[in-house]
Structure 1
Amino acid sequence: MISPLAYVDPAAKLGKNVTVQPFAYIEGDVEIGDDCIIMSGAHILNGTRMGRKNTVHHGAVLASVPQDFHYEGEDSLLLIGDENDIRENVVVARATYAEGGTRIGNGNFLMDGTHLCHDVQIGNHCVLGIRSMVAGESQVDDCTILSSNVIVQQHCHIGSWVLIQSGCRISKDVPPYVIMAGNPVQYHGINAVVLQHKSQVTERVLRHIVNTYRLVYQGNFSIQDAVLKIQDQIPMSDEIHNIVDFIKNSKGIVK
């Protein structure tokens, strides 16, 4: 159902059973999949490509022009998957360049006032808390939680199954499965409760993850030496390989 009080450009492509409430605004270069709900006051701007069963709440702005001095008017994209809940006043910018893309995966919950800058990559099943902000070209992997008022600075990579507590400012990469808290931000253990309830990680592997991060954060070693000791001392599993690969590929983790 499309309200006659909404503006929907005739060139926009809307799937089956899409609801557009009064005073929503949808531009022409937009594709919206089946069963989406666009609430009143939401703005869906040029470059949006949205999958199925997404809900966009009041006052959200999707595919805003990137706040990047390198942007020169290219027709860039915001790519959104399926079953995302995008709450009130969320702002998501599209990419700076046509060959790039700001991406949001499937099943994410973006709370009130979340701001995603240009070329941000959000995985699947993440929660971004109230007023959390992710700067340009940063990446948040699957099943990660940013609590309210978290600020992630440009070019940072947040691993999977991470919990970053309220008010943290992240300026370096955060490896998988950890809890980060405080300012300056520090390691506060592994995200064991969520891992136990939501993933298939066993008690044995949880102990191995704890011992891995004991070497990284409490072993008084360089990162390079810590990785060597992990490979020498910790039984390998998919999770440990994930940690090692993340650290090896990072330009610097929160330490």
Structure 2
Amino acid sequence: MSSSFLKQGNLCSRFSLSSALQIPRLRHLLHFFFSHVAEGEQVDTSTPAKSGFVHPTAVVHPDALIGQGVSIGPFCSVSSSAKLGNGCQLYPGSHVSGSTELGDNCTLMTGAVVGDDYPGCTVIGSNNTIGYHAVIGVKCQDMKYKPEDECFLEVGDNNDIREHTSIHRSSKSTDRTVIGNDNFIMGSCHIAHDCKIGSNNIFANSTLLAGHVEVEDYVHTAGATVVHQFCRIGSFSFLGGGSVVTQDVPKYMMVAGERAELRGLNLVGLTRCGFSNAEIRNLRTAYRKIFMSVDANVGSLEERMAEVELHGELVHVPAVRAMLQSIRNSFAENRRGICKFRHWNVSKLAEVA
């Protein structure tokens, strides 16, 4: 155990002693622990919390690297190859396994599991919260995976990963699963092997991302959203609740439906993220020209996009250019194309958000 630790008599501050006493085995262990204190073993309670604390029932391998001010609660385990940064907190029954690194000030709630003993590693940045019974950085669910291959997960900083979420390592040594910064991943979400997640995303409960999905930044999913393998979700887009997304979602767009269709721009999200009225107005104009033309002889999607690119005003708007490039990228080789869009007529134009 790291020399930075001092044993203290107080239990982990987040652990309820009254609830613990309801568990027979834990009640016995606590009686054993406190009886030894009563018999004369001196326990220093004057040391500040930053000195760290390991509960006597925790199993911490002596080769583990433990930072300053780390708190490890009852029945936790820390593997020999683990590295815990300063100020980390492991709540009762949480586990750090295999070659796993936690940055500073990470919190593992009760029952959380981070890492496993398979080849490769899990690297978690700073200020992350891993929710109750979440499973992060374990072996992927891919039949092609070979147990002897190294596999990797990298998570950035300031992510809130809630209860029962699962995030898997990559399926091969040449790839890795990546999570960016400042993401809010709600309960029971699943992020499969080799996914690439950007920053500032919000995934509502039970969002399921299959293998190799790429999500850019500021994406918001509603509950029970499912995304097919190899799809890409563009920045500032919104996925409606219960949607099954089987093709790419371009930047700034909103999709919904059992087989998700484009339903317009994510106007609420764009406004909340600080897009100006002029930017949103130009994006709406471009979207209508591409997806909602009232001309029966308008031509193909490519021709409509070319018309926007030749438009005197729209072509000079960076957001419009980004949207066009996002659409074009979705039709590149080995990409899945974009979600289907409705064929509008003049009478429906007034209904567009």
TM-score (norm 1): 0.96
Match of 1:190 in 2: 265
RMSD of the TM alignment (CA)? Answer: 1.3
Secondary structure of the structure 2 residue equivalent to 1:49: strand
The aligned residue for residue 236 of structure 2 is 161
Matched, 1:207 2:284: no
Give secondary structure in 1 for the equivalent of 2:339: coil
Aligned length: 254
1:136 and 1:236 map into 2 onto residues whose CA distance is 36
Choose 225-234 or 166-175, whichever is displaced more: 225-234
Instruction: For 2:223, give the aligned amino acid.
Output: S
Instruction: Tell me if the contact between 1:215 and 1:221 (Cα under 8 Å) persists in the aligned partners.
Output: no
Q: For 2:301, which of 223, 241, 244 is the aligned residue?
A: 223
Name the CA distance, whole Å, in 2 between partners of 1:100 and 1:187.
Answer: 31
Distance 1:111 1:247 in 2: 29
Deviates more, 1:227-236 or 1:81-90: 227-236
Q: Equivalent residue for 1:253?
A: 338
Decide which moves more: 45-54 or 147-156: 45-54
Q: In the TM superposition, what are the counterparts of 1:130-145 in structure 2 within 5 Å?
A: 130-145=205-220
* Equivalent residue, structure 2, for 1:242: 322
Higher RCO, Cα 8 Å, sep 6+: 1
Q: Hey, what's the Cα distance between the residues in 2 that align with 1:247 and 1:44?
A: 37
> Unpaired segments of 5 or more residues in structure 1?
none
Runs of 4 or more off by more than 6 Å in structure 1? none
CA–CA distance in 2 between the matches of 1:38 and 1:44? 8
CA shift at 1:236, angstroms? 2.3
* 1:13 counterpart = 2:88: no
**Aligned positions of 1:78-93 closer than 5 A:** 78-93=153-168
* Structure 1 partner of 2:115: 45
TM-superposed deviation, 1:150: 0.4
Give 2:262's aligned amino acid.
Answer: Y
Q: Paired residue for 2:200?
A: 125
Amino acid in the other structure paired with 1:50: I
The structure having more radius of gyration, on CA atoms, is: 2
Shift of 1:221: 4.2
Residue 287 of structure 2 aligns with an amino acid whose one-letter code is: Y
Query: Which residue in the other structure is 1:57 paired with?
Result: 131
Q: Distance in 2 between matches of 1:222 and 1:170?
A: 23
Gap regions ≥5 residues in structure 2? 1-70, 332-336, 341-353
Q: TM-score, normalised by structure 2?
A: 0.70
Deviation track 1:23-67 (CA, whole Å, cap 9, x = no partner) reads: 111113000000000111001013210000000011100112111
